[in-house]
């Protein structure tokens, strides 16, 4: 009896027939409006919970310099290169760069005031022969960061360059353009040992006037690790994709049934809605992906 009721309910929701006026109940205006209201209410609830109890519902992040170093060296070893040594000086320079980006609110290799990455090498008296920088933001784990760098030709060149023998990382949380952001700065270098060797960066020349170093509050070995009870990114994405997929299914079933029965109704084009909702799923999938620079 229970199973029969359930089947009847699902048929009412998804298949057009006389009980739902030959339009899937889920696609009635009232149902769509109720669904919209539920999304708004649930959305407000999750936003307030994220702010009041981030340990319960928050963005799960696990990026540490140790993991970044391990994964970077793994990629280098796989490509027949010597592993890089973790440099405290470069990590300190990378932290200064990250702080500089937060203080001056920019996401670029060069600051709006013209400060280049090489400035931060000079601030810690790192006399480089070769220097390089990779940036990443809003990734959830170290492997994701390294994989994204490896997928980009210019970043990959830095990762797999035989010219570097040291690397430093900074993983810092802060607000960039008013948004909570996790920045990852990776500085590569090879320190000058012989007098008179010209430094090579392959980019801009370090400025003559150096800015005051930004305060470094980040520990050299610390990363950003946040493990809430529920990962809000995964939860919201899964719920949204589920709702959109259910609606697409309802539109497809509705369209097939009506085509077969040759019924004429005055409703919107189901194919329009299917295309738009499928697009919305793709929008949601690509939203919040980490970015590299």
Partner 1 sequence: MLFHKNHLIHYLIILSIIALGIGSVILLSSNKNLQLILVLVVSLFYLCYGIFHHALEHDVTIKIVVEYVLVTLLAVALFIFVRGGF
36 binding partner 1? (CB under 8 A): yes
179 binding partner 1? (CB under 8 A): yes
277 binding partner 1? (CB under 8 A): yes
114, 202, 215, 279: residue in contact with partner 1 (rule CB under 8 A): 279
243 binding partner 1? (CB under 8 A): yes
The one segment of 85-93, 95-103, 186-194, 231-239 that binds partner 1 by CB under 8 A: 231-239
Number of residues that bind partner 1 (CB under 8 A): 47
159, 236, 253, 258: residue in contact with partner 1 (rule CB under 8 A): 236
**Residue from 164, 173, 165, 166 nearest 219 by CA:** 173
- Between CA 58 and CA 46 the distance in angstroms is 9
Beta bridge partners of 168: 187
Dihedral sign from CA coordinates of 230, 234, 238, 240: positive
- Between CA 168 and CA 126 the distance in angstroms is 12
Looking at the Cβ atoms of 222 and 249, the one nearer to partner 1 is: 249
252 binding partner 1? (CB under 8 A): no
177 binding partner 1? (CB under 8 A): yes
Q: Which residue has the tokens 């089947």?
A: 7
**Other CB atoms within 10 Å distance of the CB of residue 151:** 10
61 binding partner 1? (CB under 8 A): no
Looking at the Cβ atoms of 210 and 287, the one nearer to partner 1 is: 287
Residue 229 C-beta: closest distance to partner 1, Å: 17
155 binding partner 1? (CB under 8 A): no
Residue 49 C-beta: closest distance to partner 1, Å: 11
Residue 96 C-beta: closest distance to partner 1, Å: 21
Residues in touch with partner 1 (CB under 8 A): 29, 32-33, 35-36, 39-40, 42-43, 46-47, 50, 107, 137, 177, 179, 232-233, 236-237, 239-240, 243-244, 247, 266-269, 271-273, 275-280, 282-284, 286-289, 291, 293
């Amino acid at each position: 009896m229970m199973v029969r009721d359930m089947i009847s309910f699902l048929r009412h929701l998804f298949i057009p027939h006389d009980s739902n006026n030959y339009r899937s109940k889920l696609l009635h205006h009232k149902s769509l409006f109720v669904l919209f209201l539920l999304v708004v209410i649930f959305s407000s609830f999750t936003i307030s919970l994220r702010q009041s109890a981030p340990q319960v519902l928050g963005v799960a992040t696990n990026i540490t310099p140790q993991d970044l170093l391990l994964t970077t060296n793994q990629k280098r070893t796989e490509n027949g290169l010597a592993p890089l040594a973790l440099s405290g000086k470069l990590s300190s320079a990378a932290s200064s760069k990250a702080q500089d980006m937060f203080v001056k609110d920019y996401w670029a290799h060069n600051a709006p005031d013209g400060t280049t990455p090489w400035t931060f090498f000079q601030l810690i008296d790192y006399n480089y022969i070769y220097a390089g920088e990779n940036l990443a933001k809003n990734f959830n784990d170290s492997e994701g960061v390294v994989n994204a760098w490896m997928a980009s030709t210019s970043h990959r060149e830095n990762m797999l360059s035989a010219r570097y023998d040291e690397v430093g990382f900074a993983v810092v949380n802060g607000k960039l353009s008013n948004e909570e952001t996790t920045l990852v700065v990776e500085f590569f270098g090879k320190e000058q040992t012989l007098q008179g060797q010209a430094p090579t960066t392959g980019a801009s020349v370090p400025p003559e006037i150096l800015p005051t170093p930004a305060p470094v509050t980040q520990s050299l070995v610390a990363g950003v690790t946040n493990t809430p009870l529920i990962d809000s990114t995964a939860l919201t994405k899964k719920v949204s994709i589920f709702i959109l997929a259910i609606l697409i299914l309802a539109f497809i079933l509705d369209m097939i049934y009506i085509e077969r029965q040759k019924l004429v109704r005055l409703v919107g084009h189901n194919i329009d809605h299917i295309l738009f909702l499928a697009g919305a799923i793709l929008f949601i999938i690509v939203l919040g992906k980490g970015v590299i620079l």
